[in-house]
Structure 1
Amino acid sequence: MTEIVRDDDHSAGSPTIEGTGIRVVDVASAYEHSGYDPDEITQLYPPLDLVDVHTALAYYYEHIEELRPATESSASA
């Protein structure tokens, strides 16, 4: 089962997909801002499978108020 974790020593405490170091906001940004579908996101981030992508997106939408400012600032960078 895919887990979303936070580690203050990694990614400044941003939620990541356990065992990958890939941030939830990066997956959400690829989906929302770049228009990639979940299959394409697994190609962008080979360590991820579809379960990981959907878990990250579900986590993002459950915590959108907390995470959206981080997504917007990373998209404009």
Structure 2
Amino acid sequence: MTSIATEYKYIELDERNMPIIAGTRMKVVELVTSVKAYGWSPEELGFQYPHLTMSQIHSALAYYWDHKEEIDAEIERRFQEAEKLRLEAGESPFAARMR
């Protein structure tokens, strides 16, 4: 995997220009989604993702705040894609039996 350094010490851009945490495969958007979905603090993120250092977490969050509009758009795009797939799949046999 080829990556490009950024002005953020712990953030690189992968081959698709997606910001990732350097030395990991964790995308900044995935970390931010955890904050938005669960309300996790940086300390809780460190507990939930023990492979990340607090420096990496804070760098990812700083990157997010400086690129909020584009990362929020990516989160929305992912949500819409998941919703589309959910609707296409229809009700699962298990859910149908539970009614």
Structure 2: segments with no counterpart, 5+ residues: 1-7, 83-99
- Runs (4+) of structure 1 exceeding 3 A deviation are 73-77
Greater RCO, CA 8 A, separation 6+: 1
The reply to whether residue 4 of structure 1 matches residue 8 of structure 2 is: no
The yes-or-no answer on 1:47 pairing with 2:51 is yes
Amino acid at match of 1:6: L
Report the CA distance between 1:73 and its aligned residue: 3.8
Task: Report how far residue 7 of structure 1 moved.
Answer: 1.5
Give the alignment's TM-score, normalised by structure 1: 0.79
Per the alignment, residue 36 of structure 1 pairs with: 40
State the Cα deviation string for residues 35-76 of structure 1 (Å, max 9, x = none): 111111112212111111111011011011111111234456
In our comparison, the structure showing a higher alpha carbon Rg is: 2
Distance 1:44 1:19 in 2: 18
Which amino acid counterpart does residue 44 of structure 1 have in structure 2? Answer: Q
Tell me the C-alpha RMSD between the 2 structures.
Answer: 1.9
Tell me the secondary structure at the aligned position of residue 43 of structure 2: helix
TM-score for both structures, normalised by structure 2: 0.64
**Structure 1 residues 75 and 2: CA distance shift in structure 2, 3 A:** farther
The sequence identity of aligned pairs, in percent, is: 34
